Structure 1
Amino acid sequence: MMANAQKMIEERKKALLEKGLLKPLGAAPTTPAAAAAAAAAAAASVAKSISKSPSGGATIAAPPVKAALTDEKSRKIAMLQAQIKNKLSSGLLGLDGSGAPQDKPTPLILDSEGRTVDSSGKEVQLTHVVPTLKANIRAKKREEFKAQLQEKPQEDSGEAKFYDPRISMRPQVRNRKSLRFHEPGKFQQMADRMRMKAQLEKLQGEISQIAKKTGITSATKLAQIAPKVEHGKEKIPNVEWWDSVVLKDNTYGPPDQPPQLKVEAITFLIEHPIQMKAPTVQNKPVYMPVFLTKKERKKLRRQNRREAWKEEQEKIRLGLEPAPEPKLRISNLMRALGTEAVQDPTKMEAHVKAQMAKRLKAHQDANAARKLTAAQRRDKRRRKLAEDVTYGVHVAVFRVKDLSNMTKKFKVETNCNQLTMTGAVIMYKNCNIVVVEGGPKQISTYKRLMLTRIKWEEDMVKDTDGGETPNSCSLVWEVRNLHTWIFMGGK
């Protein structure tokens, strides 16, 4: 039905064009109102023609919805025609003012002298394109861009009251900064100058505080009066420089008369001379050694080992030392070797066992190299016993009921000699005294010998009543930190 309606609209348009009631496309109404009116007239005529039956029967009125759609389409068609005409009249599609297309360029006219002239015979200057470099083109574009930036933009009337001409606009282009390197040692010199300046200010502050406390400036005067001593020249002055402040005429006067003094220069204040540094090198201060706890010593040892390991790894990384071979064991065989262990496990196991045996042998050899010989062990023991006495001489006195047993008497004397101790044995009926002296460790070892190791109760001793009682030994007296030896040899 819509196709039939469109066909009838086209036929009606052709009929109106032939009769002159509808203007052609070039003479379309210039205003939307006129176009809408023309479209409405065309739509009305079409509606009348549609309302009549083609067989001449009764007329059927068009539905109002279809009529509204037809009017809307007609109005849109008229608006499009008006827009097309405006574009054509403005020359946007390549037409000149008369509506003719400009397909051909303007012909070149030359006069008798070969100059370019227009249709009126006036000479025309053609633009000549001169070849140039890309650098010149970029420079020209850069200058044009700078000129555009320098031009002040037109300000709106609403923002004019907020504009301050005193504030310069920041350029949009970032200037390229060149590299500037500092001379070596520049900042070290600056730091040295700052430190010297700080020390000088500190010294000046101390001097000013001292002057404020004392209320005098005689120290400065004395420093100015003190002559500069030149090395190699010893000239005896007439007046000592510290006396020149209080003496008149800078002289002591005759020996039989008292010197003339400046009484006003003498005050009740005591002036202390400036302390000078000793010409010799001062002894280094002696600090008390720090005794670390067992936990601190373990931590320090762990840190030292960590530093040594880092240094070794750094040497390996720099190529100064070869990398050590992996420490293989049976437990990490598969993890360390990987595919090699899978391909030939028997060979890899033998290789690991050989490496383990090699490590064990190196460990045993190191222990054997550190092991002391019998003579070295005796010397070490003797040296430690001798060093034990440096902490102080200890003395112990033991009382034994009976010392007639030769075996026990031999043990008492031999252990005393082996421990490099000195002492004496006093033998009496029912009262034998053993006196020994030595270091703290020597006394401790000898006490364990006399009181624990020797079984004195094995021997039976007769008492005053004639009965038998077991023999015994007891510690009678012990003293520590004696500065002198009592006995010079064991007896």
Structure 2
Amino acid sequence: MDRHGSPGLGPRNDAASRVQKPDSAADKAAKLAALKARVSAAIGTTKAKGGLNVGLHPALEDIGQWKPGNKANDSKANAGSLGSRQRNGGNKGHTKHKPLDLSGPSQDEIKNNPYYDASLSAPNAKPRQSRHLIFNQKGKYIQQANALRRQAALEALKKKIAAGTRKVGIDEDKDVEKNFVVDDPPDIEWWDEGLVDGKNYDDIENPSILKIDTEDSIITRYIQHPVAIEPPQDRNVPPPKPMYLTSNEQAKLRRQRRMADLKEEQAKVRLGLVPAPPPKVKKGNLMRVLGEEAVKDPTAVEARVNREIAERHTKHLQTNEERKLTKEQKHEKLATNQEKDAAKGLHMLVFKINTLANGQHRYKININADQLALTGLVIMHPKQNLIIVEGGEWSTKHYKKLMLNRINWTENLPSRDKDAQNETLKQWLRAETEDGDLKDLAENRCQLIFEGEIKSRAFRKWGSKVCETDSEAREVLSKAKLENFWNLAKSTAASATATAAY
């Protein structure tokens, strides 16, 4: 690069710089004056502006200027300046350091430099202006933090409510209105598809498109008589009750029946079909029936009469014993009657009980359901207990009386040995508290929340289930598609609480 046309402070690469020749005093003075002028111009420019027309840092403004200091620093500075003077060939009369020229190239150098790019400079750039400090008001960020905390708490509450709603299973259907939208009528009804040659009624007046008199018409001269089916509701109709008779009417019917039997027996005796029965001798008719024999030997006749009376009594008792049913026959008859009762129609009862801490209550619930051939489920829960019963009308009627009238739900008795030794039994199912005292069941009660007829049984047998949470209870009931009864029981408890509070 040719540096001849651009004077500067750097070393010269010409032949004169390589060979040091002694200069005259006039040349030295001229050079020194030129150097001072350039240094003064450089110092004035650096104080104003630096590179890119930006002001210099205050720490850089005094670069190249000598400042008085301690002797050690002065001696070091003098030694350094002495060495530099010896290398430069002298200048004994000047003790001050000359500042460096940091102003950059001049305008003449810029014009003569063929490699200068004017697009890289910013001569018209505005000087940087200092900005004032802006202080925030007291409590600004505290308010923002509180707002963020409230927003986070609100979002957490929404998530909790949504999770609880999904857990309880009472999500409201947002598209309820769609259930009431009536579909548009079809272009052609299904019963007319086989009679019209088309997909609509547009050409219904044209007889050529009708399939009434054609060979493939579904209308013929034959008449089909459907098979008569017995209405299903007639099977559940109870039989007519017999007419109730008074005691006098019952006695009259009995006399008439016995008189008819006696006449039939007398007719058989006259015809010789059966032998004549022996006379029925009692102590009241002894003398009238056995007149002469009673007079001859009254003691023997009386003994004979007593013996016949004892034989008749023994025969009566024996006949009654033969007429009685055995234990197996009783169970079979009861099961048959229960099946007949269930065949007439199934009924369902749903009870809600506050607590089943008393073991006798649980025993009575289970044993009576087994004896009445009922199917269902008992759900034991810390807050509420649900009992679902299904069976015939007679069985459910007796079970309803048991639950609502016969059992005293406020009574509490100590646990039996079997329950006391059962470690798996939950604390809320025990009759005693943790301190050993009996629980107070004064507020316990049984409530019938549903009663009605059903089409078929939802359970195959009678059972019980212990559920700690609502989700477990709903999961057990969902197998029988009866989880809505759990929500009904909870809503009943909520309404009862609100009524009591009111």
Give the structure-1-normalised TM-score.
Answer: 0.37
- Of structures 1 and 2, the one with the larger relative CO (CA 8 A, separation 6+) is 2
Give the structure-2-normalised TM-score.
Answer: 0.36
